[in-house]
Structure 1
Amino acid sequence: MRKISRVRIFIDSYTDLPKGWIKKYNLGIIPSYKVSQAPQLNDLVQMFSPIISKGKDILYISVLPKQCSTYQTALLAANEFPESRVSIVDSINVLPILALSVVLATQKLNEAMSSLNIADWLKTVHQEIKLDALINNSHYHYKNRKEINFRYLLCRMFRTRRTLHVNNGYLFLGMKYIGRKNNIAKRFLKKLLTDIHRIDHDHLIIVHTFEEELARWMQKFILAETNIREVLVVEGGVLTCNQLGSHNFAISYILNSSPLSMSSPKLS
């Protein structure tokens, strides 16, 4: 069995991951020539071939949905190589889940697992990955109604925010909050950390759009008041702004089925 250190991880070109991550983890990039134009089959075959010929496997973690042409083209490209040399994982079309998937996958590079084993493992882990987002309620109404209406204006006036949750690829609407941004963020974090006994202690991802100060405060608090060992902050770009809107944030983490032993943090 080939050692997993020979696996090369690929992501999409517009995933908003920091450039430092791409260099640190030696991530390959699946290009997108235009917003509506996916790479051709021959493009991916030519991209993968030199890597495969050197004895390396490929693990493509896609931020695109399975029905997207890029994802389907990657499946066709995988069939051009020996079985299990190219493995593909869907990250449910959400950047925070992609970011956490990349971190988890890179930690498997030193273990004796094939790229197919890692892909299967990630698919299982995705069932436990949760995403909680806090967005401007005005953005939610604007994105869904395609017009600035009376409800949109009320949300702007009263500074209403809404929580969104992603579980097993399904989107759920959560609580509404009214008030100042920092106070809402504290209440949001307090509710999230009620599950601290089940949240995995290894990694937690905070993705924000133009909320660096607030995201860093949340990172500092979680590291100081919980046993979570790594809290990474990622600044979202165009893709994240399109999904969440500006001045919003989302937190991605693994929620274990059984509780862990630790004390609960308290927010002042």
Structure 2
Amino acid sequence: MNSIKIFSDSTSDLPRQWLEQYDIGIVPLYTVFGSESLRDGVDITTERLFERVSREGSLPKTAAPSPADFIQHFTPYIEQGMDILYISLSSELSSTYQNALLAGKEFPEGKVHVVDSRNLSCGIGLLVMKAVMAVRNGLDIPEIVRLLEEMKPRIDTEFVIDTLEYLYKGGRCSGMQNLIGSLLKIRPVIKVIDGKMTPAYKVRGKREKALEQMLSNALSQKDNMDLELVIVVHAMAEEDALELQKKLQEQTGAEVALATAGCVISSHCGPKTIGIIYAKKS
């Protein structure tokens, strides 16, 4: 058994088979409907989330794992003599990172190492996979942390949001913006910049136009793209995701994986959200 256990949280949106194959630990965030707290990916799936929002007409809140949650997940591995390397959701988006730091202080010094991904979804996932490969190559935690810190600014995360409804329900756009956007079929595109979800531009017209623009943006970086792993992530948009995956593979030669967005990410962005995530070369 490796002496280092890699952890992330449910917002990393890593495919379940990768979690099992590479023995990656996941600490779930929460989606909260009223007084009911549901663990992302454990007690509720993305499909059931959308069904419930459609039925009830309101979005859940989202909540970070508590320090106690982290302690519960970390303790069995610490007791086996392992060290923990946890890669978190951006500290700009959640208190998840801070709570993991607090939990780490409950263990002997140097046993728990926490890295702020400054990203979300499979932007975190790319960092996790880099850490997994580094462990397999025999690197120690300080060396892996240096690798991750160098890689973080090179991650490019871009999403097309299909509907303004979830942004409106979540208080991220006004009723008038939602109405006008819906009438004009405006689709916002979100990028992660400095650890935050930032509106990058808007595409007016058919959904296909927005997806083609996002694909074009990625392909414009083809010569600067780390082809080892590119990820297409989606929320109930598998057909479009498969088409993007195919085009990216054909036009870049990259290893392109498919992932499904979890409940926390989906509750902010809504159904049919789709993204392309890759790292630029160092």
| Alignment TM-score, normalising by the size of structure 2 | 0.77
Q: CA deviation at 1:145?
A: 5.1
Letter in 2 for 1:71: Y
Q: CA deviation at 1:237?
A: 2.6
2:150 is equivalent to residue 110 of structure 1: no
2:188 alignment partner, one of 149, 162, 172: 162
Residue aligning to 1:260: none
2:90 is equivalent to residue 59 of structure 1: no
Residue aligning to 2:47: none
User: RMSD over aligned Cα, in angstroms?
Assistant: 2.8
Q: Report the CA distance shift for 1:14/1:248 in structure 2 as closer, same or farther (over 3 A).
A: closer
Q: Measure the CA separation in 1 of the matches of 2:93 and 2:272.
A: 30
Q: Report the CA distance shift for 1:135/1:47 in structure 2 as closer, same or farther (over 3 A).
A: closer
* Of 246-255 and 184-193, the range deviating more from structure 2: 184-193
Q: Measure the CA separation in 1 of the matches of 2:159 and 2:126.
A: 15
Q: Measure the CA separation in 2 of the matches of 1:183 and 1:24.
A: 37
Identity fraction in percent: 31
Deviations 1:130-161 (A, max 9, x none): 11121236348624555422x32222122221
Q: Measure the CA separation in 2 of the matches of 1:188 and 1:73.
A: 34
Residue aligning to 2:4: 7
Residue aligning to 1:211: 237
Q: Measure the CA separation in 2 of the matches of 1:209 and 1:114.
A: 35
| Alignment TM-score, normalising by the size of structure 1 | 0.80
Letter in 2 for 1:132: E
Deviations 1:7-42 (A, max 9, x none): 11112256543332322221223355745574344x
Q: Report the CA distance shift for 1:99/1:37 in structure 2 as closer, same or farther (over 3 A).
A: closer
Q: Measure the CA separation in 2 of the matches of 1:27 and 1:231.
A: 20
Q: Which runs of 5+ in 1 are unaligned?
A: 258-268
1:174 alignment partner, one of 179, 182, 200: 200
Q: Which runs of 5+ in 2 are unaligned?
A: 31-36, 38-61
Letter in 2 for 1:148: G
Residue aligning to 1:252: 277
Q: CA deviation at 1:242?
A: 2.4
Aligned length: 251
Q: CA deviation at 1:185?
A: 1.3
Q: Which has the larger radius of gyration?
A: 1
Residue aligning to 2:121: 95
* Of 87-96 and 62-71, the range deviating more from structure 2: 62-71
Q: CA deviation at 1:214?
A: 0.6
Q: Report the CA distance shift for 1:14/1:137 in structure 2 as closer, same or farther (over 3 A).
A: closer
Q: Which has the higher contact order (CA 8 A, sep 6+)?
A: 2
Residue aligning to 1:148: 175
